Amino acid sequence: MTLRVRPADPGDADAIADLEQVALPLDAWSQALVEEGVGGRLPTTQYFVAEQGLLLAGYAVVSVVQDVAELQRIATAPAARRTGVATALLAAVDAHAAAGGAARLLLEVREDNGGALAFYTGAGFAELARRPGYYRDGTDAVVLERSVRMDP
């Protein structure tokens, strides 16, 4: 089925909050926070959704402040993984970051999240730093970085 990536709107909040619980259960954002973001009330933050038909296949959240973009979230519905959904979302994030004037794209990932680390490494990210005990359960964060791709 065709994959379509578009900016999120308030009608996407429920599906994003549901997937947040499934994909990032140790660190899930609240429904209220998601509603604030998709409602455009966080000035530097943009949500994107990937749709297959009417279903939410994934979403990504990026904030852009001057020359630095931060990938705050990226997640794919379990049934849609390894089909290029996150790759398509990351291309939209790069395009948004480039349009906003960012040169660097940073993110944090749990050091025990092997799947995400493999995805990011394959997408060209490299380790910049570690944040010991960053997550609620004491797990370290790995900070990854790469240049924003102007023509992803």
Ligand X SMILES: CC(C)(COP(=O)(O)OP(=O)(O)OC[C@H]1O[C@@H](n2cnc3c(N)ncnc32)[C@H](O)[C@@H]1OP(=O)(O)O)[C@@H](O)C(=O)NCCC(=O)NCCS
Chain residues binding ligand X by CB under 6 A are: 23-24, 58, 74-76, 81-87, 109, 113, 115-116, 118-119, 122
Round to whole Å and give the CA distance between 14 and 3: 20
Measured from the CB atom, the residue of 40 and 71 that comes closer to ligand X is: 71
Nearest distance, CB of residue 58 and ligand X, angstroms: 6
Q: Which two tokens stand for residue 129?
A: 């730093």
Residue 100: CB minimum distance to ligand X, A: 21
CB nearer to ligand X: pick between 41 and 122 = 122
**CA distance linking residue 68 with residue 38, whole number of Å:** 21
Task: Kindly report the length of the chain.
Answer: 152
Which of 30/101 has CB closer to ligand X? 30
Q: Return the number of the residue (39 or 115) whose C-beta is nearest ligand X.
A: 115
Query: Least distance to ligand X from the beta carbon of 113, Å?
Result: 5
Residue 43 neighbours by CB distance under 10 Å: 7
Chain residue at closest Cβ approach to ligand X: 115
Determine phi and psi for 59, rounding to 5 degrees: -155, 160
CB of 60 to ligand X, least distance (A): 9
For residue 11, the SS3 value is helix
Alpha carbons 152 and 99: distance in angstroms, whole number: 12
